[in-house]
Amino acid sequence: MEIDMKPDLQIITNYYKVQEIKQLTENTFVLSLPKSRFKFVAGQHISLSIKGDYQSREYSIYSAEESDNLQVLVKEVEGGYFSPKLKHLKAGDMVEVHGPFGKFGLEEKKRHTHQHVFIASGTGIAPFHSIVKTNPDLNYQLILGVRYANEAYEIEDYDRKMFTLCTSRDEKGDFKGRLTEYLKKTEFNKNTCFYLCGNSDMIFDAMEILKTKGFERESVTVEVYF
Ligand SMILES: Cc1cc2nc3c(=O)[nH]c(=O)nc-3n(C[C@H](O)[C@H](O)[C@H](O)COP(=O)(O)OP(=O)(O)OC[C@H]3O[C@@H](n4cnc5c(N)ncnc54)[C@H](O)[C@@H]3O)c2cc1C
């Protein structure tokens, strides 16, 4: 987009006007921007900054590849620098978008030969939302680990038969306990691609469990948030 400046100082930037901040829970929200002006592959992330602020943070793209909006799903981290600022943006405020970045996404070559198991903690569900919305016919299994069932953000967007909700602090999910406990108890087809996204503790524990189940490192793709 072109920014109004003196003609000799004109620069091309990628500012987007915030359209909406949709609050999903007290501290989690979907930030909607106009349609992306770049092509991306579901699973990739962008880097966001707020106009006038020098800091930026990465966020997985939450919306589908051809969606009319570019969206991210954000959890406000208590005491965090950037996410509370994002939460307080209003429609019309400007953010700067860089990207897309990363190679996290569906293993296209294995799309029809393998089962696809998505494993997420918290907002780590974001890239899977984009993948599922982009590929409505995809046969997948999504395993989400959260503390409380209300953190299963926009669960209605998924095929409930393909979604296993693990809740560690209430009994409103499909499995009461950590998702790693669920993984230990679950059998997976030999031909499975695993996609892990979320915090590093969950990811490393899950990788160990998959290793003990005999899955090679090549069958696991990871996106670490923090
Ligand atoms: C590739 C990539 C994709 C990401 N995608 C998303 C996304 O889709 N949605 C999203 O909410 N975040 C995502 N993150 C995390 C995001 O970039 C920020 O780290 C997060 O918003 C916190 O920023 P902050 O400035 O508020 O906190 P900071 O001031 O940078 O950090 C405060 C502390 O919070 C920890 N922290 C970071 N994220 C979380 C979290 N979700 N829960 C608890 N503690 C956390 C950090 O490790 C740090 O110790 C992603 C990170 C990466 C690397």
Between the CA of 74 and the centroid of ligand 1 the distance, in Å, is 8
Between the CA of 120 and the centroid of ligand 1 the distance, in Å, is 14
Same fold, 7-101 and 108-224: no
CA 73 to chain centre: 7
Q: What is the pLDDT of residue 2?
A: 41
Architecture in CATH of 7-101: Beta Barrel (2.40)
**From 3.20.20.100, 3.40.50.80, 3.30.43.10, 1.10.1200.10, which CATH number describes the 108-224 domain?**
3.40.50.80
pLDDT tens, residue order, the chain (226 aa): 444 444 444 434 599 999 999 999 999 999 999 999 999 999 999 999 998 898 999 999 999 999 999 999 999 999 999 999 999 999 999 999 999 999 999 999 999 999 999 999 999 999 999 999 999 999 999 999 999 999 999 999 999 999 999 999 999 999 999 999 999 999 999 999 999 999 999 999 999 999 999 999 999 999 999 9
Ligand 1 atom 13: residue of nearest CA: 59
Ligand 1 site, CB within 6 A: 45, 57-60, 72-75, 77, 80-83, 122-123, 126, 223, 225-226
Give domain limits for the chain.
7-101, 108-224
Q: What is the pLDDT of residue 172?
A: 98
Between the CA of 81 and the centroid of ligand 1 the distance, in Å, is 10
Spatial CB neighbours of 77, under 8 Å, sequence gap ≥ 6: 83, 84
Contact 165, 173 (CB under 8 A): yes
Ligand 1 atom 43: residue of nearest CA: 77
How would DSSP label each residue in the chain?
Answer: -B----GGG--B--EEE--EEEESSSSEEEEEEEPPSS---TT-EEEEEETT---EEEEEB-S-TT-SEEEEEEEPPTT-SSHHHHHT--TT-EEEEEEEE---S--GGGTTTSEEEEEEEGGGGHHHHHHHHH-TT--EEEEEEESSGGGSTTGGGS-GGGEEEEESS-S-SSEES-HHHHHHH----SSEEEEEEE-HHHHHHHHHHHHHTT--GGGEEEEE--
Report field, pTM of the whole predicted structure over 0.85: yes
Ligand 1 atom 3: residue of nearest CA: 59
- Counting Cα atoms < 13 Å in the Cβ hemisphere of 44 gives 18
Between the CA of 106 and the centroid of ligand 1 the distance, in Å, is 23
Q: What is the pLDDT of residue 5?
A: 43
User: Strand 15-17 and strand 94-101: pairing?
Assistant: antiparallel
Closest to 135 in 3D by CA, of 119, 157, 155:
157
Between the CA of 112 and the centroid of ligand 1 the distance, in Å, is 33
Specify which residues 163 forms β-bridges with.
Answer: 142
- Counting Cα atoms < 13 Å in the Cβ hemisphere of 160 gives 5
Ligand 1 atom 15: residue of nearest CA: 225
Between the CA of 39 and the centroid of ligand 1 the distance, in Å, is 24
Digit-coded pLDDT (tens) for 183-213: 999 999 999 999 999 999 999 999 999 999 9
Q: What is the pLDDT of residue 3?
A: 43
Ligand 1 atom 47: residue of nearest CA: 226
Determine the atom of ligand 1 nearest the C-alpha atom of 122: 41
Q: What is the pLDDT of residue 113?
A: 95
Q: What is the pLDDT of residue 51?
A: 87
Ligand 1 atom 9: residue of nearest CA: 74
